[in-house]
A = this chain, B = another copy of it.
Amino acid sequence: MKIYQTHKAPNPRRVRMFLAEKNIEMNYQEVDIAAGDNLTPEMKVKNPTTKLPFLELDDGTCIGETVAICRYFEELEPESPLMGRSALEKAQVEMWQRRVEFHLLQPVSMCFVHSTGFFKDRMKPIAEWGSASGENAIAYFEALNEHLSKSEYLVGDYFSIADITLLCTIDFARVVKIRVDEKYTHILDWYERVSSRESAKA
């Protein structure tokens, strides 16, 4: 079993941190996406979307999508659950995971690809959309700070995959010079709590 990844990107880090929280050891194979090594015919058979990370099982079955990989291990090794314990908590984790993805990770990613031209050999950047996406991401910090004023983690006092997603997003956002303003003290307190976990080094 192994995971194909690019070490510096935010989505592979989400998976590494998730597995570290569960004490699951993993083999990682680095793929050079800038060189297009994810776009070869052999790789497209395994991973048609060409996005990283993806998991290859010993029988050759491949699972793409960050959260799908995490869900596989959540189900396989349910100790230290990171996707919720009760029905309500599972729904709340799903809700916050998606809020962070839709309102922060995706806008930051859009800002990155449309502003920097990092993938301009394989898609057409639209600068105006890159800029608007960056503004949308920054605008979400207000609501997030308000929520974290009442909650230790995104879902009450329960550390979850949603916190992993938020940490990896905030760190990734530095690439496009988006930082949490010092007025958002509740986000910054949360950041201290989560970034000091051993798994954050994974």
Contact = CB atoms under 8 A, between A and B. Distances in A.
Contacts of A106: 106
Contacts of A72: 87-88, 90-91
Interface residues of A, number: 33
Contact of A91 (B48, B75, B94, B132): B75
Contacts of A132: 124, 126
Contacts of A128: 126, 128-129
B143 A99 contact: no
A132 B125 CA distance: 10
A186 interface: no
B129 A48 contact: no
Nearest to A77: B87
Given A68-B91, A88-B61, A143 B76 contact: no
Secondary structure at the A interface, as helix, strand, loop or mixed, is helix
Contact of A49 (B63, B88, B99, B146): B99
A76 B86 CA distance: 9
A95 B65 contact: yes
Interface in A79-116: 86-88, 90-92, 94-95, 98-99, 103, 106
A12 interface: no
B76 A87 contact: yes
Contacts of A46: none
Contacts of A67: 94, 98
Given A49-B143, A65-B98, 20 more contacts: A48-B143, A48-B146, A49-B99, A63-B88, A63-B92, A63-B95, A64-B99, A65-B94, A67-B98, A68-B91, A68-B92, A68-B95, A69-B91, A71-B91, A72-B88, A72-B90, A72-B91, A76-B87, A124-B132, A126-B129
